[in-house]
Amino acid sequence: MQPIDRLSHGHPDDELIQALEPDQLVAATSQPLPRYRLGHAANLALWLLRVLVLSMTALVIYTFVEALP
């Protein structure tokens, strides 16, 4: 983040700054959001999905390697 000096940077007028929504400023978006509380069921579902994705990726990689000339 490199803040600029309002007076030394072409005097950005107030109207220009107002064109942005308050939570659109880089200073605002740099603040992290609080963590989402994932329930046990949701957490388990995400893990199962991850296992499925990794398994399928392994199968595709195997098939890919076997298809190599």
Partner 1 sequence: MNHLRTSSLEQVEQGASLTPEDLSRSRDRMRVLKARQNGRFPKLLWLLTGPGILVMLGENDGPSMLSYAASGATYGIGFFLPFIVVTFLAAFVVQEMSMRIGAVTHRGYGELIFQRFGPFWGWISAADLVLTNLITLITEVIAIRVGMAFFAVPPPVAVGCAVMLVVVTSSGARYWRWERLTMALALFNLLFVAVAVLSRPSAGQLADALVTWTPLPTGPFQGFLLILASNIGATVTPWMLFFQQSSSVDKGLTPKDIPQGRIDTMIGTALAALAGCAALVAAAPLFVHHVDTSKLEGGAGYAEALQPLIGSFGSGLFALGLIEAGAVAMLTISASTAYAVGEVLGGSAHSFNRTIRQAPLFYAANIGMAVVAGIIVLIPGMPLLVITLNANLLATILMPAALVFLLILANDREIMGARVNSRMTNLFGALIAVLVTLAGSSYAIVSFINTLSAKAS
Q: Which residues bind partner 1 (CB under 8 A)?
A: 1-4, 6, 9, 12, 14-30, 32-36, 38, 42, 45-46, 49-50, 52-53, 56-57, 59-60, 62-64, 66-69
What is the token pair recorded at 45? 């579902």
CA 42 – CA 38 distance, rounded (Å):
6
Q: How far is the CB of 64 from partner 1 (least distance, A)?
A: 5
Residue placing its CB nearer to partner 1 in the complex, 22 or 40: 22
Q: How far is the CB of 55 from partner 1 (least distance, A)?
A: 8
In contact, 1 and 26? CB cutoff 8 Å: yes
What is the token pair recorded at 26? 């880089």
